[in-house]
Structures are given as C-alpha cells and as structure tokens.
C-alpha cells in the first residue's frame, strides 16, 4: 500500500515512511491510495470474532509489505488487549465504552498500535526517533503510556497550561524516562501549530528524526476504525443506526467513516461538538470558517481548526453533497453539558463524561423512531471530576487507579507558544 498527501504535491510513500515521517512536506496528511472493501462473506465471518482478529483483517492491506502478517498479528493482539463493551443506556440508545484501556480513554487504541509499529521499525534504524505530540487532554496520557520504555524512541508531549484536567496532566507528566512533557503558555491549537512547524523545519527533522503520535499520523488514525467495525458486527440493523461521535480534531469520526468505506454495516454519523463548532457550521453552509478556540467543560474537544478535516473530504471524494447525506452536526453548550450529565444519571443511572454527554444529547434530539443510536463514551468520567461534581452536585468516589496517579509528582517544562521557544528546546535535547 502506498500513501499520498491530501495536498497532492508530495510523492507517494510506503506505510513505514508515512508512519515515520508523519506529515508530507506539502503540509497535507497521508491517505491510503486505495481503501480495501471487504466482501460480505468476510464481514459475516468476523461476527463474534475478537477485536484483534477484526483488526488484523482490516489492517493487513494497509501495512504490507512494511510489516509482515506475523508482525501485524502480534501488534494487534498486544495493542487491543482490553474490552470495548457496547452498553445499553436506554431502549434505543447504547454507549460504546472506549475507556477500558490502560489510560482510560479511546486514544489507547491508536496510540498502542502506533507505538508497536514504531517499535518494530526502530529495530532496523541506527538512530533514535523523536516523537512530537500535541494534546488537548487524553492523547498525551495514551501516547506516554504506549511509548514508555520503547527502545529507540523519545517522546515530547506539548499540552496547554491550565487547560487539561488534573488527572490528564498527571498521566503525561509523571512517567519520566523517555517521556518529556512541555507545558505550553497557549491553547491546544497553539500546541498543534508548534508540532506542525517543527515537522516543516529541515534542521530539526535531520537532527532529531521527528515523527508524530497525533491522529495526523496514519498509524494513530486508521486503527480507530477497528472498534467501529466491531460495534457494527454486534448490532441488529446496524446499517440504519445513528453514530454520535464527540469530535474535536476529527480523527475519531473519520476513522469510523473509513470503516464504513471498507464495507462494514455502519449507518450515519452525527458529529457532536462543544462551542468549537467549526464542522457543524461547515455542514450547514459549506464554509470552513475558523474562530478563536473557546475553553469548555469538554476540554478534549477544544479545537477550532481540526487537523483531520482533509481526510473527511477525501473519504467523500470532496463532494459536499455526498458528505451531508451521511454526516450531520450537533452542538451543545457548557450549561447543557451539565444538565445532560445530571438528567441521564437521574433517569438511567448511567454516568456520562462531558464529551459522551454531547453525543448522548445529540442522539436524544436527532434519533428517529425505530432507529438505534450509539454514542461514543470516549474517556472515564473521573478524568473530569470537577465538571462531573458540578453537574451531579456531589463528590465523586475516586477509583484506585486515579488515587495512585494523583499521588505522583509532576515533572514538566514550561515554554511559550512561539516556535523559537520550542525550537530552542528541541535543539538542546
């Protein structure tokens, strides 16, 4: 499989090159030259299969010849070693719980797959690889955990100061070793801009052998399609479903669109946004208009210029008319997030995190009669304890994993939001 740039001004590359280089020189995103479509018999045979078995079948054409089938088998079995349950919340509404991995967030799937791919590639390289990753919350913890102790790989995580939860911050600042956390005086978009500028700096790339673990990386993005496929195989009439996806950088929902393109019986998508609603606005007007980022209770979605938008366009062949047949938008305010968490818990006993709450609210408003809805519960609610306690009006019990983490000492380096500051830090490594 070859990968081209969405800007179409860079040469096609192999899977290995796309993973290691992360971004093409023309500032686009890597995208597969073709999307394999699984036939009905293959999909039917996957019903009841394990998550690694589904992942193996889906990823094998994307990674060859750079990874052997035996290497891929080991990667998916190791990366997808936890359950992703589909939990009924109401008669016609289900939660796809993506927080049962080691860092209690959906980012574990892609981060662990990517880490193991890079670990295999590092074995044949004579020099160390430096991974740069910007996080608005859960990505940093998942990447830190996925790459911790991986030989030949150093990780530098950028996160916006004061704009991630205490638990999220602890997950990315307490490991040490080959993991470094940079606390940036700015928002997530500033962190993401620094990473992109670093990749376009020839000296930094040559000296540090840079790559990324954000969803801009093809090996972080594509494996997220696996849990959409697995979900569809567990549902009746799944091709008629409405899938509500809390969306910030749009890697998650576009991975679901990839699974649908591969032939899995997935219905329509509802992209669910907080106040940073650039894509819901685009779906109404066909105008992509970037506004300043607004801090919200659903902080992992505080993104005003999502990196994966070009992949969304590619998946629908740049046809706005085709896109809006499959995809609609929904937006929820902070006060509505609090009210949704409280109401759902009071009526059903189910505890939504602030991001899942937006997806759930979207289904409550948009779900049609006799239609099944699934929202993605993207992180454990305890990661957002202050917001949860404000919504519920009571103190949350701290799980053991969270208590242990909060007792650890934070280590981070504070930098400004200008490329000069970041560049100087990297050149000093």
Catalytic residues, by residue number, are: 107
**187, 189, 191, 193: CA torsion to nearest 10:** -150
Q: What is the DSSP letter of 162?
A: T
Cα 261 from Cα 272, distance rounded (Å): 21
Q: How many alpha carbons lie under 13 Å from residue 321 in its C-beta half-sphere?
A: 0
Strand 2-5 with 30-32, pairing:
antiparallel
Q: What is the DSSP letter of 275?
A: S
Cα 151 from Cα 132, distance rounded (Å): 16
CA angle 19, 191, 167 (to 5 degrees): 95
Cα 363 from Cα 260, distance rounded (Å): 20
Strand 93-97 with 86-90, pairing:
antiparallel
Q: Quick one: 287 exposed, middle or buried, by C-beta within 10 A (0-12, 13-18, 19+)? A: exposed
Cα 322 from Cα 314, distance rounded (Å): 11
Cα 350 from Cα 71, distance rounded (Å): 39
Contact by Cβ (8 Å): 328, 283? yes
What is the residue whose two structure tokens read 């496929």?
Answer: 229
| Residue 250: strand, helix, or coil | coil
List the beta strands (DSSP E) in 92-163: 93-97, 129-134, 153-160
């Amino acid at each position: 499989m070859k990968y081209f740039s969405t800007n179409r001004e860079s040469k096609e590359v192999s899977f290995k090159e796309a993973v290691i280089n992360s971004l093409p020189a023309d500032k686009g995103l890597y995208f597969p030259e073709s999307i394999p479509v699984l036939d009905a018999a293959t999909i039917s045979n996957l019903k009841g299969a394990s998550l690694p078995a589904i992942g193996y079948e889906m990823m094998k054409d994307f990674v060859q010849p750079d990874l052997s089938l035996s290497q891929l088998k080991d990667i998916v079995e190791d990366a997808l070693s936890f359950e992703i349950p589909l939990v009924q919340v109401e008669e016609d509404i289900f939660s796809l719980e993506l927080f049962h991995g080691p860092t209690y967030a959906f980012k574990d799937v892609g981060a662990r797959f990517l880490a193991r791919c890079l670990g295999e590639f590092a074995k044949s390289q004579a020099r160390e690889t430096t991974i740069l990753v910007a996080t608005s919350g859960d990505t940093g913890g998942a990447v830190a955990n996925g790459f911790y102790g991986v030989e030949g790989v150093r990780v530098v995580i950028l996160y916006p100061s004061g704009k991630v939860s205490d638990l999220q911050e602890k997950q990315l600042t307490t490991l040490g070793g080959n993991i470094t956390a940079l606390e940036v005086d700015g928002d997530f978009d500033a962190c993401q801009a620094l990473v992109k500028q670093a990749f376009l700096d020839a000296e930094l790339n040559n000296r540090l052998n840079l790559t990324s673990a954000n969803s801009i990386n093809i090996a972080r993005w594509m494996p997220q399609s696996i849990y959409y496929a697995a979900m569809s195989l567990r549902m009746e009439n799944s091709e008629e479903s409405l899938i509500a996806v809390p969306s910030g950088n749009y890697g998650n929902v576009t991975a679901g669109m990839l699974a649908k393109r591969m032939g899995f019986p997935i219905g329509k998508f509802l992209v669910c946004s907080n106040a940073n609603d650039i894509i819901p606005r685009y779906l109404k007007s066909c105008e992509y208009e970037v506004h300043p980022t607004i801090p919200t209770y659903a902080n992992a979605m505080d993104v005003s210029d999502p990196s994966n938008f070009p992949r969304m366009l590619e998946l629908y062949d740049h046809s706005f008319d085709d896109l809006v047949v499959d995809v609609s938008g929904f937006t929820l305010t902070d006060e509505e997030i609090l009210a949704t968490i409280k109401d759902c818990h009071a009526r059903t006993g189910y505890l939504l995190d602030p991001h899942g709450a937006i997806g759930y609210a979207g289904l409550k408003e948009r779900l049609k009669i006799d239609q099944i809805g699934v929202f993605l519960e993207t992180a454990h609610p305890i990661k957002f304890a202050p917001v949860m306690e404000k919504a519920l009006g009571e103190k949350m019990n701290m799980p053991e994993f969270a208590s242990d983490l909060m007792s650890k000492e934070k280590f981070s380096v504070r930098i400004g939001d200008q490329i000069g500051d970041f560049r100087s830090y990297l050149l000093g490594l």
